[in-house]
Amino acid sequence: MCRFAHNTAGSINTQGRVVLPTNVVPRHYDVTLEPDFDKFTFEGTVIIDLDVAQDSSSISLNTNEIEIHTTTVHADGALVTSSPKISYDADTQTSTIDLDHQLKKGQRVQLKHTYTGQLNDNMAGFYRSKTKSGQFLAVSQFEATDARRALPCFDEPALKAEFTATLIADEKMTCLSNMDVASTTTIDSKITNGKRKAVKFNRSPKMSTYLLAFVVGELKSIATDKFRLPIKVWMTPDQKDTDGQFSLEVAAKTLAFYEKAFQAPYPLPKMDMVAIPDFAAGAMENWGLVTYRVVDLLFDQKTAGAATKERVAEVVQHELAHQWFGNLVTMDFWDGLWLNEGFATWMSWYSCNEFYPEWKVWETFVIDTLQGALGLDGLRSSHPIEVPVHRAEDINQIFDSISYSKGSAVLRMISKYIGEDVFIDGVRRYIKKHAWGNTQTGDLWAALSEASGKDVSTVMDIWTKKIGYPVVSVTENEKDGSITVKQNRFLRTGDVKPEEDETLYPVILGLRTKDGVDESLILREREQTFKVAGGLDFYKLNADHSALFRTSYSPERLVKLGEAAKKGLLTVEDRAGMIADAGALAASGYSKTSGILSLIESFNTEDQFVVWNEILSRISSVRNTWMFEDEAVRDGLKAFQRQLVSKKAHELGWEFSENEDHIMAQYKALMFGSAGLAGDEKVLKAAKDMFAKYASGDHDAIHPNIRASVLAMAVRDGGEKEWEAVRARAHEAPTADERNSCLRTLGRTQKPELIQRTLEIALSGEVKTQDIYMPIGGLGTTPEGIEKRYDWMRTNWSTLVEKLPPSMTMLSSVVAICVNGFTSEKQLKDVQEFFSDKDKKGYDRSLEQSQDSIRSKIGQLNRDKSDVEQFLKDKGYYGGAQGKL
């Protein structure tokens, strides 16, 4: 197998990558690890079988925070050296073994290291996690480049090998790895001077180092026999068995569904899924041993809200899709990360729609995944889906909405273009051809082209290799019933430069008329004219919003589309997507902000959750942009929201039946929370009554669907008593879901002293490192919270860098949270000055994106400050008055 795929259709520039020499190729690792929970270290032994690909006198491999004690090298069974010179390059995290001996091409080499590693608390590598009762687990998180923290290895995705793992631990502890157990023996421990068990696992198939996984700790499990192989959900003893039942059932159905869809059997002998108390990401797809944040695997089906159930299903299905797409077939390097994450995201929506059609998840996709992609990709500092990455610290920054959301949106676009069944057939061909190997994007396009008979790569290459997407402006030609469409690069800042507008995207127009949808029309030039079947009376571009572009219509056409929506001519996706486009175009200067407010006002009779979700998202965006403006304007926008939602909230109510419809439950919760947080007195009174009972110990007084909203109202409008009650419940909550709601709510306070205490909690040790972003995130709802949060970040910068190393994604997230709320030139300048002398390695992309977001808000305010004020005055909302619809 070549290191990089031969197919050049998807090739990208590989120059500048910091990678290992290609003189040796790993074939098998035999690794033994023994954690020490007193010293927070672990003892390791690794024996690596290598093939010599080039005559060599040295071997280089990756290590990080590992102290190597002994090294021996054998070639074709004969000792080469037992005390070689080893040099270490901290910048590239590479150890080089100088052999003082020439290895010959074709020889088989065995390299053995004994070493000590750090059982760190950074949630990276082989690290420690702490349970509620104070017990420790040793767990692993190796993606992207942290396997090197657990063992010396060739830590690149294309350097696949087989693994035999052995874990040594106390008898009472559970030991898990990717494969099933081969044997359990009793041995003399290097750490305890006594006896411990050694659990050896069967040899794995060929896989990348980032998918290797280990878990050691006191755990319990539940199992199912509803799949042909064993599936278990593991948890710490303090968790309830029943909390893992839903995930277990979803996993069994999903593995069977994927086997059928891909026509390829799940290739490992078991599937373990483990809830980890400390976990930086949402979940990790380690082959055969998937690890999760507790909240993304376990929940109480009796007390959790509908959104929690949907989130858990999506996460489990996402990780299990990786067992084929990512694990069996793997990108050749990290610039192809989207092949893993974009597909797993698309597949999780696809399978969720199969299992739970009543959830209508493709409607949610338009306001969730698609808008996430378009939001980030509308920034100048975005990046292509296939982004060149050269160093380890660059990789973690691309685990973002481009790789996940834009990647999956591109796949949704092509699946609509060629048909879902054909798309899945292409995926089958791709998996069959490249199983156990590594690929580039062009390999997927080739398989889809073969299945569809269409030139997929020509249509799709630009979408993955170029940054951004277009806005398509529509001009109507009344004489012949045609439309002229023109594409230009879209930027949220509205200041596209000529050199940034050179890409011509193949835009699948998806023209909806009364005759149906024409998916065959593609805008390939800057400007083209197309006939509209049935004339201009009714049409809409981007049917169901399955393509990546914004559409700019004339104000007159927007009015007509609003009327069409009321007549039932537009789908839920059409209506939500149209509002999203109008909001984004107003923010970037294509239209006035008063225009999107007027459009939203015309949707006051809308009755679908997804559309209302997008409406409120756009109102929230405007309110966030006007966060630091005159109080009369801010109160006016709040009154506008209140007037829009209150009647609907009262009609729907906030009582939930035992078998409440999944979407209706979320709809009721959305309207209740939006009305109450906008000051609706009836909702506020109901929330106050519920919270009083909740704070007195009746924790069933608030239904889980509205718990976050009730807590937010109580903390925002209350004082120290309410804040302390929520803080106390965060520690006592029986589920991660409720705990997280409490932590996020603390930042809603408007009291200066409580804002300060919320910030202090974040770094006090009271909140797990994985959850630092929760309390500080809530502070983004007031000007005082935003400013104090930024001051806190500056004051505690050195602590944050130490606690959240740049190699992790969490520092990047904290920077974005603390900077994103700003809206003025002065605030932007302050940010630039603070970071001017900082080492921005590991978060530079996030920082630039945050600054671009501020620039977008500055531009909107400069253009439309008086426009919004006049709208509010004309409608009677200015100063918080009741207004009129």
Show which residues are catalytic: 319
Beta strands 522-523; 162-169: pairing state: unpaired
Cα 723 to Cα 714: distance, rounded to the nearest angstrom: 8
Decide if 136 contacts 217 (C-beta within 8 A): yes
Q: How far apart are CA 491 and CA 500, in angstroms?
A: 10
CA distances from 582 to 438, 473, 490, 588, 598 (A): 41, 12, 13, 10, 11
- For 784-815, b/e burial (b = at least 16 CB within 10 A) is ebbbbbbebbeebeeebeebbebbbbbbbbbb
Q: Which two tokens stand for residue 598?
A: 């007027």
Question: How many Å apart are CA 681 and CA 678, to the nearest integer?
Answer: 9
Tokens describing residue 108: 């088989």
Backbone Cα Rg of the chain: 28
Q: Identify the bridge partners of residue 141 per DSSP, sorted by sequence position.
A: 125
**What is the layout of strands, in order, in the sheet containing 78-81?**
78-81, 66-75, 108-118, 41-52, 24-36, 162-169, 195-201, 181-188
Helix, strand, coil percentages, rounded to 5, for the chain: 45, 20, 35
Residue pair 117/45 in contact (Cβ under 8 Å)? The answer is no
Query: Taking Cα atoms as reference points, which of 386, 425, 295, 389 lies closest to residue 742?
Result: 295
Cis amide leading into 144 (omega within 30): yes
CA atoms within 13 A on the CB side of 743: 25
Other beta carbons less than 10 A from residue 257's beta carbon: 17
* Cα 2 to Cα 22, 30, 53, 160, 433, distances in angstroms: 11, 24, 11, 11, 15
Q: Which uninterrupted H or E stretch holds 693? A: helix 681-695
The answer to whether 532 and 517 have CB atoms below 8 angstroms apart is no
Give the whole-angstrom CA distance, residue 742 versus residue 733: 9
**Strand, helix or coil at 151?**
coil
Return d(Cα 179, Cα 273) in angstroms, integer: 13
Rounded to 5 degrees, what are φ and ψ at 630? -55, 145
> Are 414 and 448 within 8 A, CB to CB?
yes
Integer angstrom CA distances of residue 576 from 79, 614, 698, 706: 69, 6, 38, 23
Structure tokens at 671: 């309207």
Q: Residue 570: CB partners within 8 Å, gap ≥ 6?
A: 512, 540, 561, 564, 578
Rounded (10°) CA dihedral 96, 102, 106, 107: -80
In contact, 828 and 854? CB cutoff 8 Å = yes
Neighbours of 513 (CB within 10 A): 18
* Cα–Cα nearest to 287, from 99, 487, 83, 142: 142
Structure tokens at 293: 């944040």
> Which strands form 125-130's sheet, in the order they lie side by side?
125-130, 136-141, 214-217, 174-177
